[in-house]
Amino acid sequence: MVCPVLIAPSILAADFAHLAEEVLSAERGGADLLHLDIMDGHFVPNITIGPPVVASIRRITRLPLDVHLMIADPAMYVDDMVRAGANWISVHVEADVHLNRTIQHIRNQGVQAGVVLNPATPISSLEEILPDIDYVLLMSVNPGFGGQAFIPATLQKIRKLKEKITSNRYRARLEVDGGIDTGNIRQVLEAGADIIVTGSAVFRSGRNPADAVREMKGIANPRAMDQDAV
């Protein structure tokens, strides 16, 4: 059985003055996850949100919260994010010198555990941890700011990692984040992505986020959308 592609709108691109409305609209459109980028101004050159905002978002949506820790010492904040309501937590291989310990701690909290790779980080860095994780998040832009263009070389990286996961029968799903919109989502899916993070295409499209999510889901899972319409 082929699992449906998941669409995870990223609130980094949302209007924070109307965040609740933006989140609820994406949920009405059929979003599967809500992607939350946590940035500390050290690991990446930007500062975003922390546990209090995550907890506030948790109170207004039933969607699983996919928390991406773009921070210098991610292990220090795992428990705070779990308490705030995170369902998925991913940490950068570049930021954690005790990656296995952090991943095991995340999973011990009953939370999905993922590892993130920056565009220039080779997939070989996952060799030892890949059997133990629930998902891999490949960055298709350099992390820190939304609205960047998709890096084309990511497509080959997706293909290679998908083959590695499939040939070894690992459970990890493959998530891709950065510069994905209706113009390139098919290429990303054909390369092997299972989860699509999309920010500007949902929250800065000039349309209602619900309509933007529906369009992305229709491209990603056309048969499922056809059956829903019957």
Q: Which residues are catalytic?
A: 37, 177
Strand partners for 8: 197
- The answer to whether 103 touches 115, Cβ cutoff 8 Å, is yes
Instruction: Measure the CA angle with vertex 97, ends 96 and 101; round to 5°.
Output: 80
What phi, psi does 179 have (nearest 5°)? Answer: 70, 25
Residue the block writes with tokens 């990286």? 157
**Per-residue DSSP letter, 173:** E
Instruction: Measure the CA angle with vertex 79, ends 77 and 84; round to 5°.
Output: 95
Give Cβ neighbours of residue 38 (< 8 Å, ≥ 6 apart): 48, 49, 50, 54, 67, 68, 69, 70, 71, 77, 81
- The answer to whether 14 touches 41, Cβ cutoff 8 Å, is no
Interhelix angle 209-220/19-28, rounded to 10 degrees, is 40
Cβ-in-10-Å burial (0-12, 13-18, 19+) of 77 comes to buried
Integer Cα distance of 130 and 134 in angstroms: 8
